[in-house]
Structure 1
Amino acid sequence: MAIKQQTPRQQKHLAVLIDADNAPASIIEGLFEEITKYGVASVKRIYGDWTGPQLGSWKKVLLDHSIQPIQQFAYTKGKNATDSALIIDAMDLLYTRRFDGFCLVSSDSDFTRLAARLREEGLTVYGFGEEKTPKPFVSACDKFIYTEILREEAPEAPPAAPDKQPAGEPAKPASKSKPQKVPVDLIAKLIDDLSDEDGWIQLGALGQNITRIRPEFDARLYGFRKLSDLVKSQNKRFEVQVRGSSASGGESLYVRNRKGGK
């Protein structure tokens, strides 16, 4: 009798489209590390006018990450032709039906309708942009990751000696955004709304529902690597319980509001 081999769980195929005019090259390492959490970057394209010097920092990293540069001339000063080229390519890729999701890397609100259109087709949209990204674009994505997080997680290179600094490029001090205030009231309300009769909810389910309401929610914005660390830090408001899983032999975390907690 032939033995049927088990196939590994199929990973999601993602199309990564980068707006070079509205994304810094310094995020490149953290960007693709983050994308691997969600699937395989089957297509990697970046859009901009590569004839000018303004995208020099991107040119240095394209080959290392196998990103295909798409040339888009700036036909009219002040008009961003890159957006149109990216949107057209996104729709062409959409209709191939080969992808499970898209990663849109930009801080430009012009991609709000594109994100919504891709989701209408049942695809998952991951947005990547700076904290200045307009709210409509953030909300149009299933998940939005602020690129400041990615830059902070990337290893910092040691500062070069004064005589090693490139001419005309003064050294820039490393800047890290201050952690935001933990939205404990939002978390507490969701626990009340979704918990079982004893007030418990599985941590993964809680995280999924927070993201549905706030696509930009990320524990790293508040100074924590994981949601579990964030919840545990708020021990005056939340209780955490570890439960074993009979199916996998692993453990699951459950959380509930602490009675009388404030």
Structure 2
Amino acid sequence: MPQTNDLLAVLVDADNVSPSRIGAVLAEIAQYGTASVKRIYGDWTKSNLRSWKEPAADHVIQPIQQFDNTAGKNATDSALIIDAMDLLYTRRFQGFCIVSSDSDFTRLASRIREEGVTVYGFGERKTPEAFRNACDQFTYLDVLEESDTTDDEAPRTRVPGSKLRQDAKLVSSLRGAVETASDDDDGWARLGAVGQLMRKQHPDFDSRNWGYAKLSDLVKAVGLFALETTPTGIVVRNNGTAGKKR
């Protein structure tokens, strides 16, 4: 589990992230630890990155200049990868946050995890599955809320229960996680344990993907599970499973 005193390195690919999202990204990252290093990579001589000037300054993110020396080659990605490995070898960080939708960072994420360091990914829905699965946890940018966002993309609305029940992958994954996390034969599982299993199996799992702020709200909306509140927290059971809650 992440600790608020974990040191994190935040590396942002300026070409792949809207500056209007960075405040919400950093607010999310603050839940996982302290962003002691914040760097953003790009060719700052290009006009399309001018909109990053104020957000980078406001959030104290260090811009790293990387010229595109060869047409068709992304030198920015290479610079980010080299810096990430240099930071990894200092052994100072408990986690790396890679903010990009680029599949080029798939091997980087895998390599960092090989060292036992947690990788948090942030990107758009178009992010390739390989990169998402290479992270310990991947969060889509559109589920992050920020009051002053200027994006045209509207906030995600809640998917109704009838459609959730038609999502075979979601229902099957939740049922499997509940069964795996349940104690003995009683069928009841701690909701927190279910959430952890879902993240391990699907790094991009997040109840906000369906418009629900909490996992309990999503599970309740599906309508195929029993939920109970106990003195030690919320427990969940697949409907139809016999057993007395603990």
Give the TM-score, by structure 2 length. 0.88
Structure 1 segment 101-112 matched on structure 2, within 5 A: 101-112=95-106
Mapped to 1, the partners of 2:55 and 2:188 lie a distance apart of 46
Number of equivalences: 230
Distance 1:16 1:173, change over 3 A: closer
AA paired with 2:219? V
Q: What stretches of structure 2 of length at least 5 have no aligned partner?
A: 165-169, 242-246
Which of 110, 124, 129 is equivalent to 1:116? Answer: 110
SS of the counterpart of 1:14? strand
C-alpha displacement at 1:28, in angstroms? 1.1
- Aligned equivalent of 1:210, options 198, 204, 211: 198
1:34 corresponds to 2:28: yes
Q: Name the larger-Rg structure.
A: 1
Deviation of 1:193 after TM superposition, in Å, equals: 2.6
Within 5 A, what are the aligned runs for 1:1-262? 11-150=5-144, 153-156=145-148, 173-177=152-156, 182=164, 183-196=170-183, 197-235=185-223, 237-245=224-232, 252-259=233-240
SS state of the match for residue 148, structure 1?
Answer: helix
Distance 1:233 1:107 in 2: 30
Displacement of 1:127: 0.3
Deviation at 1:202, TM superposition (A): 0.5
Quote the Cα distance in structure 2 between the aligned partners of 1:75 and 1:157. 33
**What's the counterpart of residue 167 of structure 2?**
none
Identical counterparts, % of pairs = 55
Deviation at 1:93, TM superposition (A): 0.3
Could you give the per-residue CA deviations for residues 111-130 of structure 1, whole angstroms, max 9, x where no partner exists? 00000000000000000010
Provide the alpha-carbon RMSD of the alignment. 1.8
Structure 1 residue 174, shift from structure 2 partner: 4.3
Q: Distance in 2 between matches of 1:223 and 1:66?
A: 31
Counterpart of 2:129, as a letter, is: K
Q: In the alignment, what sits opposite 2:244?
A: none
Alpha-carbon distance change, 10 to 134 in structure 1, aligned in 2, over 3 angstroms: closer
Report the residue type matching 1:114 in the other structure.
L
**How much does 1:194 deviate?**
2.6
Q: Letter of the 1:253 partner, please give it.
A: I
Query: Per-residue displacement from partner, 1:45-91 (whole Å, max 9, x unpaired)?
Result: 00000111110111121111010000000111221100110000000
How many Å separate the matches in 2 of 1:141 and 1:106? 12
1:5 aligns to what? none
- 2:76 aligns to what SS in structure 1? helix
Looking at structure 1, the residues matched to 28 and 12 of structure 2 have their Cα atoms a distance apart, in angstroms, of: 14
Runs of 4+ in 1 over 6 A off after TM superposition: none
Please identify, of 20-29 and 93-102, the stretch whose mean Cα deviation from structure 2 is larger.
20-29
Q: Deviations over 1:122-160 (max 9, x none)?
A: 00000001000000000000000011112xx111569xx
Residue type at the aligned position of 1:216:
D
* SS of equivalent residue, structure 2 residue 92: coil
Code of the aligned partner of 1:69: P
| SS of residue matched to 1:259 | coil
